[in-house]
């Protein structure tokens, strides 16, 4: 790990690997975005425009938030604005014949490796990453994910497609990334 991600700890990696990880704001926002890409029009509710209240240097402050859609992710209400939803739909529409969320397993003897490709488009694999800070190329270049996926899926090309929620702060926004 690069240490660039405040929410990424050794324990969170262990929890993820051992399946004890229950999710957090980052993963649930990513899940809502993924649902749009995977399903096109997932079940959601309209989120009217309004205001968001938060503490700024200890003082309660508010700011306007645009209309959007709210998705139920593990019992948590995640809100994206219309522009963010359109980005996910536009991305989905770039790959009209693609397969979504395909899982494979490979037995390496002492270890069973599994992978779930977000998108398989011909012989190319695409993995969607929602980010909340400036990405670090080395995190992706040095990743074992793309190496395993190319072998696991017998593919020739792997893409990390990054979608950045600029300005997102967990303490301020929580599950509402509108604006």
Confirm whether 154 is domain-assigned. yes
Point out the least confidently predicted range of 14-18, 24-28, 81-85.
14-18
Which residues, including other chains, have CB under 8 Å from residue 150's CB and lie 6 or more apart?
A: 125, 156, 158
Confirm whether 3 is domain-assigned. no
Of 91, 77, 94, nearest to 178 by C-alpha is: 77
Q: How confident is the model at residue 57 (pLDDT cuts 50, 70, 90)?
A: confident
Confirm whether 178 is domain-assigned. no
Locate all alpha helices (DSSP H) within 94-135, ordered by sequence. Answer: none
Residue 132: burial class (beta carbons within 10 Å; 0-12, 13-18, 19+) = buried
Confirm whether 79 is domain-assigned. yes
**Tokens read off for 117:** 């490709």
Say what the pLDDT of residue 1 is.
47
Q: Whole-angstrom Cα distance, residue 110 to residue 115?
A: 17
Place of tokens 């693609």: 98
Q: Whole-angstrom Cα distance, residue 15 to residue 11?
A: 6
Name the pTM for this structure. Answer: 0.84
Confirm whether 5 is domain-assigned. no
Q: Whole-angstrom Cα distance, residue 23 to residue 73?
A: 10
Number of domains in the chain: 1
- Over residues 120-138, the pLDDT tens digits come to 999 999 999 999 999 999 9
Confirm whether 1 is domain-assigned. no
Confirm whether 144 is domain-assigned. yes
Whether residue 63 contacts residue 179, with contact meaning beta carbons closer than 8 Å, is answered with yes
Confirm whether 4 is domain-assigned. no
Q: Residue 166 sits in which domain range?
A: 10-173
Q: How confident is the model at residue 32 (pLDDT cuts 50, 70, 90)?
A: very high
DSSP 8-state assignment for residue 89? H
Of 168, 162, 108, nearest to 137 by C-alpha is: 162
Q: Whole-angstrom Cα distance, residue 133 to residue 91?
A: 20
Q: How confident is the model at residue 23 (pLDDT cuts 50, 70, 90)?
A: confident
């Amino acid at each position: 790990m690069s240490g660039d991600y405040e929410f990424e700890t050794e324990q969170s990696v262990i929890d993820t690997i051992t399946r004890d990880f229950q999710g957090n704001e980052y993963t649930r926002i990513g899940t809502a975005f993924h649902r749009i890409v995977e399903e096109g029009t997932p079940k959601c509710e309209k989120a009217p425009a309004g205001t968001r209240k938060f503490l700024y240097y200890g003082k309660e402050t508010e700011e306007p938030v645009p209309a959007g859609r709210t998705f139920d992710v593990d019992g948590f209400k995640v809100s994206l604005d219309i522009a963010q939803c359109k980005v996910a739909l536009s991305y989905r529409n770039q790959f009209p014949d693609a397969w979504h969320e395909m899982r494979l397993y490979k037995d390496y003897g002492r270890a069973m490796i599994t992978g779930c490709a977000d998108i398989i488009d011909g012989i190319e694999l695409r993995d969607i990453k929602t980010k909340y800070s400036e990405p670090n190329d080395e995190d992706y270049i040095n990743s074992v994910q793309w190496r395993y996926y190319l072998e696991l899926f017998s593919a020739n090309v792997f893409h990390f497609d990054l979608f950045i929620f600029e300005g997102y702060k967990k303490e301020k926004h929580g599950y509402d990334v509108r604006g």
